[in-house]
Structure 1
Amino acid sequence: MGCSGGPDRGVGAAPGAGEPVPAIQLVAADRQAAPLQDWAQRRASKYGIPARALQAYGYAAVVLGKTQPGCHLGWTTLAGIARVESDHGRHRGAKIGVDGQVKPPIRGVALDGTNGNARIIDPDASARAGHTVYATAAGPFQFIPDTWKRWGVRADTDYKTLSSALSKAKPAVPQELTGNPDNIDDAALAAGRYLCASGGDLSTARGWRKAIFAYNHSDTYVRQIHTAATSYTA
């Protein structure tokens, strides 16, 4: 990760929200037969995104649109991040199951401060091991443990409970709701939650840049996500 002191100003307007996601009944996310399955399958080939991943991005956008309407999170932004971070859960041959689990699990390098990476210690893993353990990013959206602990959420939680947790736009939910960063439904919703809290109104250039820069403090990263997200707006 790089750090330049502020979000990049060279990416222009925020990416568009992409093709509209159909209205769905927000009761619970059924990972076996989610209501956005048909919508995702019809667009998967066009965008080169696995239908199961596109389904997760769409659901996260719908949920955040309902719980935090002022955020204006588009599924295209989530898709842009997942494209750069893990090729939509396909990094090194990984695949997304019908339940949303990405296998084999995708893991980043140890963040030990070498090769230009940040130095981030995983306190929980270190306590268990009895020695210093450096954090590694996990899952299709590459969450580090501390960030997941603060923003992770289970997408298949009943909507009444989920909306109560998400509408506050604050980190941390009850432990039983933190979900799994290796599940693309959970990861997409957690990423959206983090972006909304970090950027505010993502339909504005400033808000969008601020959100992506918070996700990874690198001007180059902001430009990469902008390019990827914009490619899904056509």
Structure 2
Amino acid sequence: MAETTQSSADTPEYFSRPLPPYVSRLAFAGGLVLTGVVLIMTVGVQRPGGEEPPPPPQPQPALAVPDQKPQPGVATPRAGLAAPPDRPTVSDAAELETWAKRVASKTRLPVADLSAYGRAEMWLRRQKPGCHLSWATLAGISHVEAAQGRPGPITLAPDVWAKHSMRATGDGKRPDTKNLDDAAFATARYLCADGDDIATPAGWWKAMRVFNPAVPYVQEVFSAADAYADASVAP
């Protein structure tokens, strides 16, 4: 049998044809992208000089609230650092924010929450001057509500909200049950509705038992309000 030899002309063209120039360019570009990704990941993990990135700030622990369990009508919580004077004809937002930041540094409560409590105290000081409501009582109510697992602002019954709610910011909008400013203001109006002096033991306990008749609930509010008030005036 004659031996057959395949000529070079019969050899497939793809064995000897050089790669198109764009293939090498694509490979080069891919290498650059990969190198960039590695550099980005390296910079994100390791800072210049071998320093580790600073740890995220830890949340400040909540203020300790002693369980006092006072007897009804015997005592009233201390009044906290008074909110700024209410100025009907000029803006007092800057003063309120300064006050809230000062109290927040001592009570470890959020500035926005304290602004809501302080604004309610300011407005009630003009609407019900004989009530003498302190923001600390509102903070104590909110503390107990949160401890009982109720998310969001202070919760009022629908009929109470319908009677006592009012927009706290004076922007003309309707009061919002999910707005802490409105909820705090409505609660303050509810506590002061009967004209009692909340600075007295009898007046404070009467107003709080109308808000919630359960003595253990009111005792917890008392303890929290007293703790926040004491911390707010501490040196």
Q: TM-score, normalised by structure 1?
A: 0.62
2:191 to 191, 195, 201: 195
1:205 to 201, 206, 216: 201
Query: Measured at CA, do residues 86 and 155 of structure 1 come closer, stay the same or move farther in structure 2, by a change above 3 Å?
Result: same
Q: Once structures 1 and 2 are overlaid, which stretch shifts more, 209-218 or 42-51? A: 42-51
Residue 170 of structure 2 corresponds to: 157
Residue 153 of structure 2 corresponds to: 140
Q: TM-score, normalised by structure 2?
A: 0.61
Gapped runs of 5+ residues in structure 1?
Answer: 1-7, 93-105, 107-138, 159-175
Structure 1 residue 16: deviation in Å?
Answer: 1.9
**Aligned partners of 2:196, 2:157: CA distance in 1, in Å?**
22
- Determine if contact 2:121/2:135 at 8 Å carries over to the other structure: yes
What is the letter of the counterpart of residue 146 of structure 1? D
What is the letter of the counterpart of residue 149 of structure 1? A
Q: Deviations over 1:116-171 (max 9, x none)?
A: xxxxxxxxxxxxxxxxxxxxxxx41111222211111101226xxxxxxxxxxxxx
The alignment's C-alpha RMSD in Å is 2.5
- Determine if contact 1:14/1:203 at 8 Å carries over to the other structure: yes
Which is greater in Rg? 2
**Aligned partners of 2:80, 2:175: CA distance in 1, in Å?**
27
Equivalent positions of 1:36-185 (< 5 A) are 36-86=96-146, 106=151, 139-157=152-170, 179-185=175-181
- Determine if contact 1:28/1:156 at 8 Å carries over to the other structure: no
**Aligned partners of 1:177, 1:29: CA distance in 2, in Å?**
18
Higher relative contact order (CA 8 A, sep 6+): 1
Structure 1 residue 35: deviation in Å?
Answer: 3.9
Q: How many residues align?
A: 160
What is the letter of the counterpart of residue 13 of structure 1? A
Gapped runs of 5+ residues in structure 2?
Answer: 1-69, 231-235
- Determine if contact 1:149/1:178 at 8 Å carries over to the other structure: no
**Aligned partners of 1:50, 1:56: CA distance in 2, in Å?**
10
Residue 19 of structure 1 corresponds to: 81
1:221 matched to 2:234? The reply is: no
What is the letter of the counterpart of residue 117 of structure 2? Y
Q: Which has the higher helix share?
A: 2
- Determine if contact 2:86/2:126 at 8 Å carries over to the other structure: no
Structure 1 residue 14: deviation in Å?
Answer: 1.1
